[in-house]
Amino acid sequence: MCGIVGLYLKNPALENQLGALFEPMLLAMTDRGPDSAGFAIYGDEVKDGWIKLTLQSTVAGYDFKALMGELEGRLGCSLEWFQNASAAVLKTNADEAAVRVVLAELAPAVRVMSVGQSIEILKGMGLPKEIAERFSLAKMKGSHIIGHTRMATESAVTMEGSHPFSTGQDLCLVHNGSLSNHFRLRQELRRHGIEFETENDTEVAAGYLTWRLRQGDSLKEALDHSLEDLDGFFTFAIGTRDGFAVIRDPIACKPAILAETDDYVAMASEYQALSTLPGIDKAKVWEPEPATMYIWERSA
């Protein structure tokens, strides 16, 4: 099963309402994914030369304040941070690799969910309503967001195994479906230096995109190659710093619906998740074609 939802705002005047508009969409997918849920939101960009990391702890009541003090001392850099429930968003002018090395040493119970200038990934086990309330989704602001509700089929239900999966700076992926060749691909990608933290087949798709992008592919080229190399049934939604993309496998076995108005582009696994959006009755609504990529991005 699993449910996918995404909302890209074409009208900047709506950015203060992004979370409020999106939350009913995520909750509408509860029946498709009651095990865990998550979302990647884009906004609150850091300045050039800085990066933003979303951190989540695998243990309750983690002391992020103490960790940030240790990080600042070890890295000798400027940093800002704030906590959101079991997550912390860290902004720093340190090198990403250096931050990851120190985090692995100081905080083995903390996982890096995302890195970039815009993205924040927040996710966890539980009903979508619980996840939305935990992270105060309705109050969040930004330019675009994609989310996922999971019904586990390929791996255990864990915080790390829930979606979205990060696939590089400001890039993430959510997936409805299953991949039949994920075990072999995981082994091949490891030989190319791609690291995995879970047995989730979606993490393999995310790792595949990371590898293709490192080879110099554009996002479109990487997704075109995915149609050749990923066996199985899938609908993917991919978030980037500038927008999002949607693609289905050549058989288009997994459902998806798109809607577009002058104010936004929205996608979901079922139309009911779009029904609360303003102006949806006048929107252009269609089912994405098999093996066809749909991309919306802010102009430079």
Active-site residue among 2, 77, 172, 253?
2
Let me know if 275 is exposed, middle or buried by CB neighbors in 10 A (0-12, 13-18, 19+): middle
Residue 235, beta-bridge partner list = 176, 248
Active site residue 2: yes
Q: Helices H, strands E: what count in the chain?
A: 7, 16
Rounded-to-integer distance, Cα 72 and Cα 98, Å:
12
User: Counting beta carbons within 10 angstroms of the beta carbon of residue 149, is it exposed (0 to 12), middle (13 to 18) or buried (19 or more)?
Assistant: buried
Question: Which of the 8 DSSP states describes residue 262?
Answer: S
Q: What are phi and psi of 198, to 5 degrees?
A: -135, 175
Q: Which residues of 281-296 are buried (b: 16+ CB within 10 A; e: fewer)?
A: eebeeeebeeeebbeb
Q: Distance between CA atoms of 263 and 7, rounded to whole angstroms?
A: 10
Contact 213, 222 (CB under 8 A): yes
What's the token pair of residue 147?
A: 């989310």
Catalytically annotated residues:
2
